[in-house]
A and B are shown apart, each in its own frame.
Chain A
């Protein structure tokens, strides 16, 4: 079992729709959870961080964390073509490592 798992996609949504990205992790003592966006050839940039169970909203983005189910998700409302990128789920584990999932490619069709 991989430490952090994501659907590789691609996920294709029409402009204005909600994009839903999911991630599961295996280390139960993980304490910090992050979503990064990465454009082709560029370094990742932070979209959201979440540390406790529940929802966290920032503009069009909502992160959801469920530690009991070891599950974290990212919702993107009113998706725009500029949101087309690879979204990386990252988990800061109890061993001081930050482990990334393989990423989900998102395409937003105009």
Chain B
């Protein structure tokens, strides 16, 4: 089945640790996105990538990093510089100007 796979589903991090969230898609989409969602809030754009080896900062990129070495993969690293990382993280992909296809999300909690 075509789709987007995010892992892990749940992740706990200690203060000062970097963690990486995985996002893989087999939809052959060029563009991929990472969003953050806090309770009761909408989705805020962290990073996006239109093609391999290229990505742009979204509205809340500070404390996060990404890479796009393969078309299928767009991992997100939450660094220790992100002061309030507890949130629901959503990865998405799209073809052209069409709709976003979302993964099931990763819930990160800082202990």
Please report A residues at the B interface, Cβ cutoff 8 Å: 6, 31-32, 34, 41-46, 49, 51, 88, 90, 92, 96-103
Contact = CB atoms under 8 A, between A and B. Distances in A.
B48 A44 contact: no
Interface of B: 31, 33, 35, 41-45, 48, 50, 56, 58, 88, 90, 92, 94, 97-100, 102-105
B42 A103 contact: yes
A32 B97 CA distance: 6
22 contacts: A32-B99, A42-B104, A43-B90, A44-B43, A44-B100, A44-B102, A46-B99, A46-B100, A49-B98, A51-B97, A88-B42, A88-B43, A92-B97, A96-B31, A96-B50, A96-B56, A98-B45, A98-B100, A99-B45, A100-B44, A101-B42, A103-B42
Contacts of B92: 98
A32 B99 CA distance: 8
Nearest to B91: A43
A49 B50 contact: no
A42 B92 CA distance: 14
Contacts of A42: 104-105
A99 to B, nearest CB: 7
Contacts of A32: 97-99
Contacts of B33: 98
A88 B42 CA distance: 7
Nearest to A47: B99
A102 B43 CA distance: 7
Q: What 5 A-B pairs are tightest by C-beta distance, nearest first?
A: A102-B42, A43-B102, A100-B43, A32-B97, A100-B42
